[in-house]
Each structure stands twice: as C-alpha cells, then as structure tokens.
C-alpha cells in the first residue's frame, strides 16, 4: 500500500503513521500521481483511492478507481469506478467484499440463465415443449435471476 499525496511530507508522514501505511510519497503533483499509478501497474493491479480534482487522472489510470468521502469532487466521481460516500478509509474492505459478493451473484445469474434458456431452446427445437412453455420458462428464469439478485440487499441490511 502506497499513499500518494499533494500534502507536505510532515502531514503525509503523520497520516501514513496513523493509518499504518508503510510507504508514502508527498508533494506529488496530479500528473505525477497518474504516472506513478501507471508505473505501479507494471508489477500488479492498482486500486487508487482519492477525493479531489488532483486525484482524477490517477483514478482514471488505476485498474480500480475509488472516489471517497462526502467532500469528493464531481471530477473524481466521474473518473472513478466506485464511489464511497463516507470519509472512513476502513469502509474500503467492506466495499470490496460487497463487490465480490455482487460479482458472485452475477456469475450465478449468467450460469442459470444460459443453462435454463439453452435447455428450453433445445427442448423446443426437439418438439418436446411448445413455444408458450418456452416463453414461460424464459420468464420464470428472468424472475429467478431478479430474486437471486435481491439476496445482496437482504445481506446488506443485516450489517
């Protein structure tokens, strides 16, 4: 984890120490943030978290850009992939967990839809079911996918 900030070295050191961040670079200009993100991408995937106009280029370059905080700018939100409406950096792991759960549900929905609709098409092509039953199967699969997707909302309310 590396903190890139336009703040002074003294402020950066204090914030890095408080958050348990090992490495930081202070007094970094916006274009330099984007270049540093691009350089870091050579070795791994990069998630950039920022809130302001100065962070927007780096948010756009990052594999995952996160605009964060109540005071974030519209430019940062537009450049980012994810927007978090709180100022707490500790909300990022929860957001990543929610994103992983969401992607899991999306994969389930794709698999179910493809399997059910393929089966209905094959049965229809073989003359085993009529078009009305095929349409019914398709619509029921769609309803099932929507209901499956609501699980993330139910889990989210229990937090």
Tokens of residue 159, six digits: 């937090």
Nearest-angstrom CA–CA distance, 157 and 159: 6
pLDDT higher than 60, residue 157: no
Which residues share a beta bridge with 23?
A: 2
What is the per-residue pLDDT for 147? 95
Chain segment 83-116, per-residue pLDDT in tens: 898 888 788 888 888 889 999 999 999 999 999 9
Domain 2-87 superfamily per CATH: HAD superfamily/HAD-like (3.40.50.1000)
Chain segment 118-127, per-residue pLDDT in tens: 999 999 999 9
Q: How far apart, in Å, are the Cα atoms of 30 and each of 50, 52, 61, 69?
A: 11, 10, 12, 19
3-class state of residue 48 by DSSP: strand
- Global pTM value: 0.69
What is the per-residue pLDDT for 53? 86
Domain boundaries, given as residue ranges, for the chain: 2-87, 92-157
Which residues share a beta bridge with 148?
A: none
Chain segment 22-61, per-residue pLDDT in tens: 899 999 998 899 999 999 999 899 999 888 888 889 999 9
Select the more confidently predicted residue: 70 or 93: 93
pLDDT, average across residues 58-66: 91
Nearest-angstrom CA–CA distance, 85 and 69: 5
What is the per-residue pLDDT for 69? 80
C-beta of residue 59 within 8 angstroms of C-beta of residue 50: yes
As a whole number of Å, the CA-based R_g of the chain is 22
């Amino acid at each position: 984890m590396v903190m890139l900030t336009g703040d002074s070295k003294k402020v950066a050191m204090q914030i890095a120490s408080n958050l348990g961040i090992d490495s930081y670079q202070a007094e970094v200009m916006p274009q330099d943030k984007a270049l540093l993100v691009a350089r870091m991408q050579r070795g791994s995937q990069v998630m950039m978290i920022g809130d302001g106009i100065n962070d927007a280029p780096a948010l756009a370059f990052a594999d995952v850009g996160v605009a964060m905080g109540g005071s974030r700018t519209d430019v940062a939100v537009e450049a980012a992939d994810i927007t978090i409406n709180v100022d707490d950096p500790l909300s990022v792991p929860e957001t990543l967990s929610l994103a992983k759960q969401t992607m899991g549900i999306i994969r389930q929905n794709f698999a179910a839809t493809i399997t059910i609709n393929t089966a209905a098409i094959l049965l229809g092509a073989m003359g085993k079911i009529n078009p009305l039953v095929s349409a019914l199967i398709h619509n029921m699969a769609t309803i099932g996918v929507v209901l499956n997707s609501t699980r993330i909302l139910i889990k989210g309310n229990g937090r």
